[in-house]
Amino acid sequence: MFGLKMKKEYIDDILSGRRKTDVRSYNTPVNEEIALINSKNGKVYGYAKIIGSRFISYKEYVLWHVNDYFTIEKALNYYKLTCNKKGLFMYYEYLFEDVKVIEKPFKPIVILKHFSWVKIDDN
């Protein structure tokens, strides 16, 4: 099974249903159920099925990150400051369904690491 590492606040948003997607600067290598892994402590907090991805603009990528810590004002200012440098790259939104919360987060055995993706032992 594959796992995707991300900040805990985004995991919480996905598991609660506030977000149905994740965004990255690279396309997803998988279209299957994945583990949602906290990038700080390495624990699995839930699962989601990736059903596809779509190309998005840099502005959509920046605005996706708006939350309690990264306000819309900060996002728009960041976009204005960085658009010339980063706006020419490709950005992707991963689409999720069948999100499952697990009761007791656990640290999986990591078999292979590749950027934010990890291959984990699913036993």
- What is the per-residue pLDDT across 76-86, written as a single tens digit (0 to 9) for each? 999 999 988 88
Q: Return the CATH superfamily for domain 2-56+92-120.
A: Hypothetical protein. (2.30.130.30)
Number of Cα atoms under 13 Å in the Cβ half of residue 76 = 3
Instruction: Give the pLDDT confidence score for residue 123 in this predicted structure.
Output: 63
Q: Which pLDDT value is given to residue 28?
A: 87
Which mean pLDDT values do the consecutive 10-residue runs of the chain (123 residues) have?
95 96 90 95 97 95 91 94 86 96 94 88 76
Q: Whose CA is closest to 23, among 71, 58, 73, 68? A: 58
How far is Cα 92 from Cα 77, in angstroms, rounded to an integer?
21
Which strands, in side-by-side order, build the sheet including 110-114?
Answer: 21-24, 91-106, 44-56, 33-38, 2-6, 117-120, 110-114
What the block records as the tokens of 6 is 């991300």
